[in-house]
């Protein structure tokens, strides 16, 4: 462990972090790939939820699941107001890494343990939160739990979202014993929150090039998801002449190449990472290719231009905007206060979306990033060294202590 973390985290808290991490690590892990498949309202998600509830119970915290399925563990009176909330998400992208999300939830419990070990007497409530379906991997909308809580998505729209098997969010919630009709903006809960701080592995290499294990987020780039539907005519691969075909695949391929060329020219990021083909047969010409474009850029106008120009190159495609998040500039006074507490930690933007970005529209929000030596994320190769994770916990504890006693 680096000297810095040892100085600020008592060994029993560091050991507590290791135990938390070790207990959660196997949940939802795919042995074949080493990646994680933790998606909302699945068996793996239920195991993650059980782990969260057990951590709350073990610490004597007030545990609850809110109307949108987000989990909360409260130290102090949950109704007192002006609470400091910290946490992240436990779900993953398909074959995701171990750190994206869980580091923020495990780190929150460990930071709470560190504050207790110091005998801190909070003047405000503290809550640890696990937001559901942050990645949107099952139902297609990222930050689903925090968007429902803030009203950024209407419950009837969310409830109708379907997974790859056609199961709606509403049906999945019902199967998990939740009432989808209760979902929606949670004004009462939002008024209780005074500030939100999320610890998260950096998804990039900015900190890796510095001596700093922890950084502070300045902004989240504008980003969104667009579905491109390319329609064709199903037919036999072996008996249909080329001139008789209405094959949507060439138009899809042209759109992918156009998106890449546009992104390079505009200085944006464009990703076609998900495709659904019907009927998806090796010997059948496709009748429909649905492909999702994830587009991000430092500037919203670049996102708009990239999508427009790619749509123009996508002959005959129907383009549907499925989600869009405008730029998030984190609360400057809170950001500067956090950077000051951390003794001049680097301040950096990110192209990744986070629940903190959704909460930032409602309450002062801040993010701490933990150095990721490879910068890789949304992959089993995502990594953060233990010493840096512990430094992140120590940093979070320092920020929480400052917020809870002033």
Q: Which residues bind ligand HGY (CB under 6 A)?
A: 134-135, 142, 352-353
Shortest CB 93 distance to Mn ion, Å:
6
Q: Would you say 92 or 310 has its CB closer to ligand HGY?
A: 92
Which residues have a Cβ under 8 Å from the Cβ of 167 and sit 6 or more positions away? none
Q: Please report, as residue ranges, which positions from 345 to 384 form the binding site for Mn ion (by CB under 5 A).
A: 353-354
Task: Residue 26: name the closest of 48, 55, 4 by CA.
Answer: 48
Q: Taking CB within 5 to 8 Å according to partner kind, which of Mn ion, ligand HGY, none is near residue 101? A: Mn ion
223 annotated among ligand-binding-site residues: no
Q: Would you say 199 or 277 has its CB closer to ligand HGY?
A: 199
225 annotated among ligand-binding-site residues: yes
Residue 244 vs residues 155, 165, 235, 240, 290: alpha-carbon distances, Å: 45, 32, 10, 6, 22
- CB of 193 within 8 A of CB of 83? yes
Q: Would you say 93 or 317 has its CB closer to Mn ion?
A: 93
Shortest CB 166 distance to Mn ion, Å:
25
Give the separation between CA 347 and CA 120, rounded to whole angstroms: 28
Which residues have a Cβ under 8 Å from the Cβ of 301 and sit 6 or more positions away? none
Shortest CB 89 distance to ligand HGY, Å:
8
Q: Would you say 153 or 401 has its CB closer to Mn ion?
A: 153
Shortest CB 45 distance to ligand HGY, Å:
16
Q: Taking CB within 5 to 8 Å according to partner kind, which of ligand HGY, Mn ion, none is near residue 83? A: none
Give the separation between CA 350 and CA 284, rounded to whole angstroms: 42
Q: Please report, as residue ranges, which positions from 85 to 124 form the binding site for Mn ion (by CB under 5 A).
A: 100-101
Rounded to the nearest 5 degrees, what angle is found at the Cα of 160, between the Cα atoms of 155 and 164? 135
Q: Please report, as residue ranges, which positions from 296 to 355 form the binding site for Mn ion (by CB under 5 A).
A: 353-354
Give the separation between CA 126 and CA 52, rounded to whole angstroms: 16
Q: Would you say 193 or 295 has its CB closer to ligand HGY?
A: 295
Shortest CB 81 distance to ligand HGY, Å:
29
200 annotated among ligand-binding-site residues: yes
Q: Taking CB within 5 to 8 Å according to partner kind, which of ligand HGY, Mn ion, none is near residue 159? A: none
Task: Residue 39: name the closest of 180, 145, 158, 192 by CA.
Answer: 145
58 annotated among ligand-binding-site residues: no
Q: Would you say 134 or 247 has its CB closer to Mn ion?
A: 134
Shortest CB 273 distance to Mn ion, Å:
12
Q: Would you say 170 or 367 has its CB closer to Mn ion?
A: 367
Shortest CB 18 distance to ligand HGY, Å:
25
Q: Taking CB within 5 to 8 Å according to partner kind, which of ligand HGY, Mn ion, none is near residue 35? A: none
Give the separation between CA 138 and CA 67, rounded to whole angstroms: 19
Annotated binding residues: 89, 100, 135, 200, 225, 283, 296, 378
Annotated binding residues for allantoate: 225, 283, 296
Annotated binding residues for Zn(2+): 89, 100, 135, 200, 378
Chain positions contacting Mn ion, by CB under 5 A: 100-101, 353-354
């Amino acid at each position: 462990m680096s000297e810095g973390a040892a100085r600020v985290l008592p060994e029993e808290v560091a050991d507590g972090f290791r135990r938390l991490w070790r207990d959660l690590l196997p949940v939802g892990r795919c042995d074949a790939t080493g990646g994680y498949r933790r998606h909302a309202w699945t068996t793996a998600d239920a195991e993650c939820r059980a782990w969260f509830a057990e951590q709350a119970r073990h610490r004597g915290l007030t545990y609850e699941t809110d109307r949108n399925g987000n989990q909360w563990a409260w130290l102090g009176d949950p109704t007192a107001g002006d609470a400091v909330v910290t946490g992240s998400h436990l779900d993953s992208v398909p074959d995701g890494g171990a750190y994206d999300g869980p580091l923020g939830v495990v780190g929150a419990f460990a930071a709470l343990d560190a504050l207790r070990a110091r005998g801190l007497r909070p003047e405000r409530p503290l809550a640890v939160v696990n937001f559901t379906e942050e990645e949107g991997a099952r139902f297609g909308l990222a930050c689903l739990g925090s968007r429902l809580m803030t009203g950024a998505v209407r419950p009837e729209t969310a409830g109708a979202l379907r997974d790859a098997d056609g199961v709606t969010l509403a049906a999945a919630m019902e199967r998990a014993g939740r009432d989808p009709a209760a979902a929606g903006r949670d004004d009462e809960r939002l008024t209780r929150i005074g500030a939100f701080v999320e610890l998260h592995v950096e998804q990039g290499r900015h900190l890796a090039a510095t001596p700093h294990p922890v950084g502070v987020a300045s902004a989240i780039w504008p980003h969104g998801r667009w579905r491109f539907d390319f329609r064709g005519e199903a037919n036999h691969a072996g008996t249909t002449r080329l001139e008789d075909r209405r094959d949507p695949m060439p138009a899809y391929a042209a759109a992918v190449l156009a998106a890449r060329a546009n992104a390079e020219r505009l200085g944006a990021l464009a990703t076609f990472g998900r495709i659904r083909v019907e009927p998806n047969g090796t010997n059948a010409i496709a009748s429909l290719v649905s492909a999702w474009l994830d587009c991000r850029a430092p500037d919203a106008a670049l996102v708009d231009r990239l999508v427009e120009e790619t749509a123009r190159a996508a002959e005959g495609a129907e383009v549907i905007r499925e989600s869009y998040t405008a730029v998030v500039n984190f609360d400057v006074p809170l950001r500067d206060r956090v950077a000051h507490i951390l003794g001049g930690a680097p301040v950096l933007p990110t192209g990744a979306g986070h629940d903190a970005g959704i909460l930032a529209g409602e309450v002062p929000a801040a993010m701490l990033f933990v150095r990721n030596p490879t910068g890789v994320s949304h992959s089993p190769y995502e990594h953060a060294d233990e010493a840096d994770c512990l430094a992140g916990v120590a940093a979070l504890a320092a920020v929480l202590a400052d917020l809870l006693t002033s």
